[in-house]
Amino acid sequence: MARAKSDKDRKIFVLDTSVILYAHNSIMNFAEHDVVIPITVLEELDQFKKGNDTKNFEAREFIRLLDTLAKDNMIHNWTPLNGKTKGNFRVLMNPDNNINANIIFGEEKNDHKILNAALHLKQTEKNRRVILVSKDINLRLKAKSLDIHAEDYETGKIKNITELENTGKFLLDDLDPAIINRLYENHSVEAKLILGTRKRKANAYYILKSEKNSVLAYYNAEDNTMERVDKKLAYNIKPKNAEQTFALHAILNPRVKLVSIQGVAGTGKTLLALAGALEQRRDFKQIYLARPIVPLSNKDIGYLPGDIKSKLNPYMEPLWDNLKFIQNQFKESDKEYQKITELVNQEKLVIQPLAYIRGRSLSNIFFIVDEAQNLTPHEIKTIISRAGENTKIIFTGDIFQIDTPYLDSQSNGLSYLIDRVKDHPLYSHIKLEKGERSELANLANDLL
């Protein structure tokens, strides 16, 4: 069989189950190097193949991919991945080692069987570098304690988080006061009068300042103009700072079909999204407000007491809290108060776990996805790809507050979305920086 490099130069990557559940085609992303799948990984994937979650989809797709690649070959033998000049793969059965991770760590676990596979390859492939690839940081630490080189799965990771955070909002503080006055008077001006030769980004927001005055503005790429952004009420919710004003403008902007709002707890992400949705309720058939169930998977929920509603209510309660806060801006006798109750009763406004909504048609829907940082890139793509006519999707979350064990600030779906879609004319991103929940909440975010 032809080789792109000598065996000594070609590495052997051992994949953990977490990598495959993150991206079923990960096996194809190791260039000319070889990939080993421990049999334990296949056994774990067999347990995940049934269900409607993304991890179930990834497990099924990987099993199909492996079957296609293997063809008539025995999977415990080396089989080409991308042609004879590229890497190969094989499934490694449970080996007998001089060093046994189950004994070392005092417990027989699947993770330790995967470590044993990597140890076996180190002993039998002495001239080659063996690397364990896992999204599970604890497994990587155990591997390193056994002198096994271990890495995270890096494909698709965002490299520059600082640049990602600065997407969407800009400060210009050296402007001519006359130009700002003109923007106040006319509501919009030609973009070149303010931006000059600066790079222009679709749907970007600006804080414009001079020595005498300042104004909030929005770059309309379609008309190539800068428009004044004013604070507006949305179902009696008023933005409290510039970033909230920008976020609500994006939520209410009919030209923008996809919005992401990043910010720590208490910055008003979900509240603004829901208030904006209620303000536009006549423009859409339904409002969906959903969030992923974290940290417990659907399988784990089965062990909780009560029926399915009582099991899921604690996860949905923060969304109901936001709705109640908006409703309580009005008196019970007000039509706006009663309208919210009516929307819920008629299922025009639906608050549910994301898994319950993920398979539905999303035509004529205002769809808010809360805690989007706990989704994988594939889940984000799946949600957006289901959008039909007259659908708007808002993703809210904090890319630094990850509750899912195999995601981080660089690999979660919200970061992936912001990085891949920035500057698109249908998309707008805002980062909320100031907590507005209460002074006490700000104390926690700032000092604790």
- Tell me the pLDDT tens digit for each residue of 136-161: 999 999 999 999 999 999 988 888 78
What residue has token string 């080996």?
Answer: 95
Q: Judge contact between 426 and 397, C-beta under 8 A.
A: no
Pairing of β 79-80 and β 34-38: unpaired
Q: What is the pLDDT of residue 171?
A: 92
Q: What is the pLDDT of residue 341?
A: 93
Identify any residues that bridge with 351 across adjacent strands, giving them in sequence order. Answer: 289
**Proportion of the chain above pLDDT 70, given as a percent:** 91
Q: What is the pLDDT of residue 300?
A: 46
The string of pLDDT tens digits covering residues 86-119 is 799 999 998 888 788 888 998 899 999 999 999 9
CA distance 435 to 265: 7
Q: Judge contact between 370 and 398, C-beta under 8 A.
A: no
Which parts of the chain register pLDDT below 50? 1-4, 295-308
| Residue 30 phi, psi (nearest 5) | -120, 30
254: helix, coil or strand?
coil
* Cα–Cα distance list, 25 to 15, 21, 65, 170 (Å): 12, 10, 8, 38
CA distance 369 to 214: 34
